[in-house]
Amino acid sequence: MKRLVLAVLLLGIALAAAVSWLGLRADPGDLSATSPLQPPTGIAATERGRYLVRVGDCMACHTRQGGADYAGGRAIPTPFGTFYSPNLTPDNETGLGEWSADDFWKALHEGRSRDGSLLYPSFPYTNYTRLTRDDSDAMFAYLKGLPPVSEPRREHRLEFPYNYRLLLVGWRALFFRPGVYQPDGARDAQWNRGAYLVQGLGHCSACHEARNALGAVQSRDNPAGGLVLNWYAPALAAPAEAGVQDWPQEEIVALLRDGVAPRASTLGPMAEVVYESLQHASAEDLGAMATYLKSLAPTRPPATRGVIQVRAQAVDHMAKRGAAIYTEHCANCHGEAGEGAPPMAPALRGNRAVTMESAVNPIRAILFGGYAPGTAGNPRPFGMPPFGSTLSNEQIADVLTYTRGAWGNQGRPVSAAEVGLNRQGPLW
């Protein structure tokens, strides 16, 4: 019996040691190595850093409404509680003033703060770990040149047990492997640059990816769609959602750069990404991202879980009521047969944003309205007015059930209860 107890104890110690090693280890590779993924030489580090910080969309999370750029304080709601972004300006007391380039590299590459504490993966170091050291140093040089702003850090408000940072050791052991992006020798330089941007700097999978119960993304290489900030980020590889495998390259670039394209437009958080970040990317980088996105192997849309079902016998009645609501409120812009009136109003007929399995985005568009971003290619964006105060949950469910099943569309019906769930929470 004593031998059994001793064996179990030793096994427990060995398991704890393995978890600690996996969760706390550093990348054993050559972390200072440069890469052929770098932009052309001859650009000052601070200027290149400004570009990389912009394309990485750091401002979106690290700037609260009404606050100074990059001074942090923005609330980021998640299923685990609310995180507050830190101050990236070089203030000595509250920002990066006392940080070194090595400290910044460890944050991006290993998910560690200056004092060695583990960072929560609400900061997407699981993507940023793929950045090269040169890019990290350039970004840090730019941030160190910003005007310092005193903006004390707000403590995260997390649910139990996620407020115990020590548990991150186990999470990292299971889900995090640090490592700079390694170019695929079977692909050309443009594809590799696009993969580097989508998987790393652009951290697309941080939103466009389903997560497990512990908040870990399931495949950063092939984003599969997920909920973020109360909107649905559609699967980038699924042709029925956001897959662009059959799009002309120039249309993909237009959507990323302008927020609008012949086959799609952006609303909600993605419109913010285009406005704050992607419209500032170079033509070469946008083309590289388009090349990579076109190359993704087509996948089936992810299954939507927890959908509130509509009784089959109720669908016809809902659609009939929805048709009347559509004629009264929608047809003037979107057309009697859902044909749309570009650029003022997109077509609803054959629109995958309308028909995809997740109904979150069309529900929230009707409730809260929205605009595509104002960009050089779309300087006077048309918008969708909010109907949340005009239409009831039942009426919105009816009109969505109608539009998702009319004119050849084949989307599932939407319940009033599902609409009600999306009235809750922040806009994004």
Q: What's the pLDDT score for residue 189?
A: 97
Return d(Cα 398, Cα 391) in angstroms, integer.
Answer: 10
Q: Number of C-alpha atoms within 13 angstroms, CB side, residue 283?
A: 1
Q: What is the pLDDT of residues 105-134, one digit of tens each?
A: 999 999 999 999 999 999 999 999 999 999
Return d(Cα 257, Cα 264) in angstroms, integer.
Answer: 13
Paired tokens of 376: 């050089």
Evaluate whether 356 touches 301 at the Cβ level (below 8 Å).
yes
Closest listed residue to residue 384, CA positions, set 345, 336, 353: 345
pLDDT of 7 over the 60 cut: no
Q: Bridge partners of 81?
A: 78, 158
Q: Tell me, rounded to whole angstroms, the distance of Cα 281 from its chain centroid.
A: 17
Q: What's the pLDDT score for residue 41?
A: 47
Return d(Cα 56, Cα 285) in angstroms, integer.
Answer: 12
Higher local confidence (pLDDT), 77 or 401 = 401
List of residues 6+ apart from 213 with CB closer than 8 A: none
Return d(Cα 293, Cα 351) in angstroms, integer.
Answer: 20
Q: Which of 40-49, 53-62, 231-240, 394-403 has the lowest mean pLDDT?
A: 40-49
Evaluate whether 377 touches 258 at the Cβ level (below 8 Å).
yes
Give 362's pLDDT tier (boundaries 50, 70, 90).
very high
Give 222's pLDDT tier (boundaries 50, 70, 90).
low
Return d(Cα 353, Cα 359) in angstroms, integer.
Answer: 9
- Residues 287-305, mean pLDDT to the nearest whole number: 90
The pTM (predicted TM-score) of the whole model is 0.88
Q: What is the pLDDT of residues 363-418, one digit of tens each?
A: 999 999 988 999 999 999 988 999 999 999 999 999 999 999 999 999 999 999 99
The residue ranges of every structural domain in the chain are 20-175, 189-295, 312-421
Q: What is the mean pLDDT of the chain?
A: 88
Paired tokens of 393: 């949950």
Q: Tell me, rounded to whole angstroms, the distance of Cα 37 from its chain centroid.
A: 23
- Residues 299-308, mean pLDDT to the nearest whole number: 78
Higher local confidence (pLDDT), 2 or 83 = 83
Q: What is the pLDDT of residues 165-207, one digit of tens each?
A: 999 999 999 999 999 999 999 999 999 999 999 999 999 999 9
Its CATH architecture, for the domain 312-421, is Orthogonal Bundle (1.10)
Q: What's the pLDDT score for residue 12?
A: 41
* DSSP calls for 259-313: SEETTEE--HHHHHHHHHTGGGS-HHHHHHHHHHHHHSPP-PPPPPPS-----HH
Query: What is the residue type of 426?
Result: P
3-state secondary structure of 7: helix
Give Dmax (Cα) for the chain: 81
Query: What is the residue type of 37?
Result: L
List of residues 6+ apart from 283 with CB closer than 8 A: 253
DSSP state, residue 100: -
Answer whether CATH 1.10.760 is correct for domain 189-295: yes
Q: Are 189-295 and 312-421 in the same CATH fold?
A: yes
Evaluate whether 143 touches 53 at the Cβ level (below 8 Å).
yes
Which residue matches tokens 């003037």?
332
Closest listed residue to residue 182, CA positions, set 298, 33, 295: 33
Ranked by mean pLDDT, the top range of 22-36, 43-57, 237-251 is: 237-251
- Residues 135-148, mean pLDDT to the nearest whole number: 96
Closest listed residue to residue 86, CA positions, set 125, 55, 50, 130: 125
Return d(Cα 119, Cα 85) in angstroms, integer.
Answer: 11
Give 241's pLDDT tier (boundaries 50, 70, 90).
very high
List of residues 6+ apart from 59 with CB closer than 8 A: 53, 69, 70, 276, 277
Q: What is the pLDDT of residues 251-269, one digit of tens each?
A: 999 999 999 999 999 999 9
Return d(Cα 276, Cα 52) in angstroms, integer.
Answer: 12
